[in-house]
Amino acid sequence: MTISGRTLILAGRPIPLEPREAAGALGREIASMPRGLRLWFAVLLGAIAVAVPAALVALPPGWEVLGTTPTFEWGLLIVGYVFFAITTSGLCLASSLGTVFGIERFRPLEKRHAILALLCLTTAFGIIALDLHYPIRMVFGAVFVPSPSSPMWWMGVFYGIYLCVLVVEVWSMFTNHPRIHQVTCTMAACTAIVAPATLGAVFGVLVARPFWHGPFTVALMVASAFLSGTALLGMVFFAVHRLHLAGAERAASLAIPAIRLLLGLGLTVVALLVARQVLVGLTSDLPAFREATTLLVAGPLAWQFWGLRVVLGLAVPIALLALPATRTPIGTGIASFLAIAGVFVDRMTFVAAGQIAPTSVAGNISAPFAVYSPSLVEIAIILGAVAFVALAYSLAERYLDLDESDAHAVVTLPVPSLNRIRALLPSRRRVARDAAVGVGAPVPAPTPGSVEGGA
Amino acid sequence: MAAPSPDLPVPAELVPLADLAPAITEISVSRRRFLGFGLTLLGGIAGATALSRLVPVFEDTSSAPPPIVPAYDPVGKAWTFVVDSASCIGCGLCVVACKEENAVTEDGEFARTWVERHAVADGAVYVDSPDGGMDGFPATSTAPGAEGKTIESAFFEPRLCMQCEDSPCTSVCPVGATYRTEDGIILVDARRCIGCGYCVVACPYGARYLTPAAERAPNDTPGIADKCTWCYHRISRGALPACVEVCPVGARRFGDAADPESDIARLVRERSPQPLYPEFGTRPRVLYLGPSVEEA
């Protein structure tokens, strides 16, 4: 990005800075767009236009425009925050296989994952700011009055670090700094595990909510993160392949098969964890846990759980990935869409099931279960958030160079290779030979070919 | 100013001003830089003032009202609350008194203290609390599924914050807004609470809520967590909590159990009241007598 006179050069495209010229250029640009793209942008802008007033109404404290109640305090906005936050982590987890571990078949995920991760995380922060009644206090309170006993505080710390790392990662990626890019990718991958784990702990430490309580909540959160991040990449790369965008060939030959593999892995792990949750819940000694699980599988949440979560969100995607006839880019694209929708529904039923069953007959709970329906404001905000991510990413896809380049070639970390370790160890044959001549085994210096490192 | 007399002796160490001129020019601050520095300083002060208004974390907290009892010493107090559910008649006076005393909204969904009715009908237990029991209870249970069923037996269970010794609300608060006083009462700092609701979902007794933007709000701050404080502003001045004072049948008892001669200490010693739902492991400091704990 450079500024030349009164023109901004962005990804090789001149953008006039004079308002009148800029408006004219914008008009010409819109006119030059394909009709489908214009429609796509119009739909997204429409959703954002509805979400903006909804967000303005939701921000003032205590206006009660959300559908939450004292007995059901966490609603759709918390679900949206959790969804976008874990998706961010999942994007880094999936892409780290290429960037951090240097596995070539996963390398095409790099640039797009970083853009998406940054967008998802900023969106998550935006949603949580709307759900909090005093978001500015949160920032200053968390810094000046740290509360290390609270998992929510740790979650803020890790996601804050994550945001900084992602910003540097994206910057280094587009400005050709391979070493910084490598380091930030590694940091992002580490944070991508810790951050959703602490997010899981936010729920997992609550003894008052037996459905959430326990270490498997952390495991399910990390696995869901991996699944949703991979699924989002699957949708994007299907679009890249279908619309012949930059790197379409690599998307078809490398990215989509890699995503198919990762998606299958994520779906299997999440399916096992969901099955475990239901089985343990139904046979639990804790009445509240049993009751919550019963309400999930045979109560008011049953249609969401079985219909949307299990069948459409798990069974159908697994079948699409497993059957030879649907092991195609479009099959992977549909499986990705269903999987990510399944993760969203899963977070929704998870948050709901934790609060729907009265842990005691306390408060004003209307036994036998608490009722929550999201308000139009909440729905508009979530749809607007999805539209924002889609719009910003579409703009990035159109105006930035997202094709893989040599700018971020694999820089292997100086991890000792097997050959190097072997070279440092005395071999059996050499030890036997040295024993025969009666001298100590000298340690051979590693040969240049056995040392990895360097770009 | 008059010129110095030429007769006066000039100290040897004095250097003529003309010789110092280059050095003074070098170290002096230009007017533009001085103005810039002054404006930056003013901007910083204005910004910090605005920030302190915006983020009340930094506000001075030393202006608490003086206690009625000047010798109040929080150290060594063992404030204890005992509820006798066998005595409670469900009149709801306690709920009304609490709302009046603490400026809690009249909306029945939000209450610092409330009364539940546990009714047995057709062999099943139904729990209801219409408007927190503020206006008493109708003849039939309002709980879902209990419509038209005749109540065979029932008892009333007053509820409030349990002031747990191992309180989840204090440990989960991300900004330390929920804290415990020296005498064991858990309070919410209205200037620090961010309204995240984590303490609300963490409380196993459902004793917390986020204040709505109603005409009346405790601390005049909507959107923050609120809960029963055992009327801390009253007990620290030697008075009883409002709900205890108005209860016509003595179903709510309160006092300092650290004093072995107090009524509450004697009650605890002689009748062994029990906490509700001890399985949560939070060690509540509200103890119950009567069918509440007998049923459990």
Q: Is the pLDDT of residue A257 over 80?
A: yes
- Looking at residue A109, its pLDDT comes to 63
Q: To the nearest whole angstrom, how far is the Cα of A97 from the nearest Cα of chain B?
A: 33
| DSSP-assigned letter for residue A404 | -
Q: Which residues pair with B124 in a beta bridge?
A: B121
Residues A215-232 pLDDT 10s? 999 999 999 999 999 999
Question: Residue B45 falls within a domain, yes or no?
Answer: no
Question: Residue B108 falls within a domain, yes or no?
Answer: yes
Nearest to B174 among A74, A140, A152 (CB): A152
Q: Which residues pair with B82 in a beta bridge?
A: B253, B287
Rg (CA), chain B: 31
User: Average pLDDT over chain A, rounded to whole?
Assistant: 83
Cα–Cα distance between A138 and A453 in angstroms, integer? Answer: 43
Looking at per-residue pLDDT, the higher value among A362 and A432 belongs to A432
- Looking at residue A438, its pLDDT comes to 52
Residues A418-431 pLDDT 10s? 565 566 555 555 55
How many C-beta atoms lie closer than 10 Å to residue B27's C-beta?
A: 6
Cα angle value A109/A114/A120 (rounded, 5°): 115
Which residues, 6+ apart, have CB-to-CB distance to A183 below 8 Å?
A: none
Looking at per-residue pLDDT, the higher value among A168 and A100 belongs to A168
Q: Is the pLDDT of residue A449 over 80?
A: no
Instruction: State whether B201 and A362 contact (CB < 8 Å).
Output: no
- Looking at residue A434, its pLDDT comes to 57
Cα–Cα distance between B194 and A131 in angstroms, integer? Answer: 10
How far lies A242's CA from each of A258, A264, B181, in Å? 17, 21, 63
| DSSP-assigned letter for residue B66 | P
By the 8 A CB rule, do A346 and A274 touch? Answer: yes
Domain CATH number, residue B274: 3.30.70.20
pLDDT tier, A287 (very low <50, low <70, confident <90, very high otherwise): confident
With beta carbons under 8 A apart, name residues in chain B contacting A153: 174-175
With beta carbons under 8 A apart, name residues in chain B contacting A68: 197
Q: Which residue is associated with the tokens 């029945």?
A: B108
By the 8 A CB rule, do A293 and A305 touch? Answer: no
| Closest CA relative to residue A123, chosen from A94, A82, A74 | A82
- Minimum CA–CA partner of A148 in chain B: B174
Q: To the nearest whole angstrom, how far is the Cα of A228 from the nearest Cα of chain B?
A: 25
Which residues, 6+ apart, have CB-to-CB distance to B27 below 8 Å?
A: none
- Looking at residue B50, its pLDDT comes to 65
| Closest CA relative to residue A118, chosen from A400, A407, A406 | A400
- Minimum CA–CA partner of B216 in chain A: A62
Nearest to B194 among A141, A355, A366 (CB): A141
Instruction: State whether A364 and B222 contact (CB < 8 Å).
Output: no
- At residue A400, the 3 state secondary structure works out as coil
Question: Residue B236 falls within a domain, yes or no?
Answer: yes
Residues A125-163 pLDDT 10s? 999 999 888 888 888 888 888 899 999 999 999 999 999
- Looking at residue B72, its pLDDT comes to 73
Q: Which long-range contacts (CB under 8 A, 24 or more apart) does B47-51 make?
A: B51/A140
Question: Residue B110 falls within a domain, yes or no?
Answer: yes
Nearest to B171 among A62, A149, A362 (CB): A149
- Looking at residue B295, its pLDDT comes to 56
Per-residue tokens: A76: 């759709």
User: Largest alpha-carbon pair distance within chain B?
Assistant: 119
Q: HSE-up of B97 (CA within 13 Å, CB side)?
A: 16
Cα–Cα distance between A284 and A296 in angstroms, integer? Answer: 14
Q: Is the pLDDT of residue A416 over 50?
A: no
In chain A, which residues fall in CATH 1.20.1630.10? 39-408
With beta carbons under 8 A apart, name residues in chain B contacting A142: 174-175
Q: To the nearest whole angstrom, how far is the Cα of B36 from the nearest Cα of chain A?
A: 28
Q: In what order do the strands lie in the sheet with A7-10?
A: A2-4, A7-10, A13-16
Mean pLDDT to the nearest integer, A382-392:
96
Instruction: State whether A62 and B210 contact (CB < 8 Å).
Output: yes
Instruction: State whether A141 and B195 contact (CB < 8 Å).
Output: no
Instruction: State whether A133 and B206 contact (CB < 8 Å).
Output: no
Per-residue tokens: B23: 């050095």
Looking at per-residue pLDDT, the higher value among A63 and A344 belongs to A344
Domain span including residue B101: 79-114+157-166+207-295
Q: One digit per residue, pLDDT tens: chain B, 296 residues?
A: 444 444 555 555 555 555 655 555 555 556 777 778 778 888 887 776 666 555 555 454 445 555 555 667 778 889 999 999 999 999 999 999 999 999 998 888 888 999 999 998 888 888 888 888 999 999 888 887 888 888 899 999 999 999 999 999 999 999 999 999 999 999 999 888 999 999 999 998 889 988 887 666 776 778 889 999 999 999 988 899 999 999 999 999 999 999 999 999 999 999 999 999 888 899 999 999 988 887 55
How many C-beta atoms lie closer than 10 Å to residue A38's C-beta?
A: 13
Question: Residue B105 falls within a domain, yes or no?
Answer: yes
- Looking at residue B243, its pLDDT comes to 96
- Looking at residue B282, its pLDDT comes to 93
- Minimum CA–CA partner of A154 in chain B: B174
From chain A residues 126-145, the ones with a CB under 8 A of any chain B CB are 131-138, 140-142, 144-145
Residues A174-196 pLDDT 10s? 888 888 888 888 888 889 899 99
With beta carbons under 8 A apart, name residues in chain A contacting B176: 141, 145-147
Write out the E strands in chain B. 79-84, 114-121, 124-128, 153-159, 178-180, 186-188, 209-210, 225-226, 252-256, 286-289
Per-residue tokens: A342: 């399944």
Name which of A63, A150, A213 to mutate to probe chain B: the one with the most chain B Cβ atoms within 10 A of its Cβ. Answer: A150
From chain A residues 324-363, the ones with a CB under 8 A of any chain B CB are 354-355, 358-363
Pairing mode, strands B153-159 and B114-121: antiparallel
Q: To the nearest whole angstrom, how far is the Cα of A135 from the nearest Cα of chain B?
A: 6
Q: To the nearest whole angstrom, how far is the Cα of B203 from the nearest Cα of chain A?
A: 6
- Looking at residue A331, its pLDDT comes to 93
Cα–Cα distance between B116 and B289 in angstroms, integer? Answer: 15
Instruction: State whether B198 and A152 contact (CB < 8 Å).
Output: yes
How many C-beta atoms lie closer than 10 Å to residue A17's C-beta?
A: 11
Question: Which one of A133-137, A202-206, A370-374, B72-76 scores highest in mean pLDDT?
Answer: A202-206
Q: Looking at this predicted complex, what is its ipTM?
A: 0.81
Of all helices (H) and strands (E), which one includes residue A381?
Answer: helix A376-399
| Residue A302 amino acid letter | A
Q: Is the pLDDT of residue A357 over 80?
A: no
- Minimum CA–CA partner of A74 in chain B: B197
Q: Which residue is associated with the tokens 């030349």?
A: A4
Phi/psi for B179 (5° steps) reads -145, 165
| Closest CA relative to residue A108, chosen from A262, A311, A213, A1 | A262
- Looking at residue A433, its pLDDT comes to 58
Q: Which residues pair with B287 in a beta bridge?
A: B82
Pairing mode, strands B153-159 and B178-180: unpaired
Question: Residue B46 falls within a domain, yes or no?
Answer: no
Residue A165: burial class (beta carbons within 10 Å; 0-12, 13-18, 19+): buried
Residues A41-63 pLDDT 10s? 999 999 999 999 999 988 887 67
Q: What percent of chain A has pLDDT over 90?
A: 44
By the 8 A CB rule, do A281 and A292 touch? Answer: yes
Looking at per-residue pLDDT, the higher value among A415 and A344 belongs to A344
By the 8 A CB rule, do B248 and B93 touch? Answer: yes
- Looking at residue A445, its pLDDT comes to 44
B137 touches chain A (CB under 8 A): no
CATH number of A39-408: 1.20.1630.10
What is the number of domains present in chain B? Answer: 1
Q: To the nearest whole angstrom, how far is the Cα of B194 from the nearest Cα of chain A?
A: 5
Which residues, 6+ apart, have CB-to-CB distance to A268 below 8 Å?
A: A318
Cα–Cα distance between A374 and A83 in angstroms, integer? Answer: 16
How far lies B278's CA from each of A285, B130, B289, in Å? 16, 26, 14
Q: To the nearest whole angstrom, how far is the Cα of A351 from the nearest Cα of chain B?
A: 11
Which residues, 6+ apart, have CB-to-CB distance to B266 below 8 Å?
A: none
By the 8 A CB rule, do A173 and A99 touch? Answer: no
Nearest to B171 among A132, A150, A362 (CB): A150
Question: Which one of A307-321, A349-363, B4-18 scores highest in mean pLDDT?
Answer: A307-321
By the 8 A CB rule, do B190 and B219 touch? Answer: yes
The least confident of A321-325, A378-382, B106-110 is B106-110
Mean pLDDT to the nearest integer, A35-41:
92
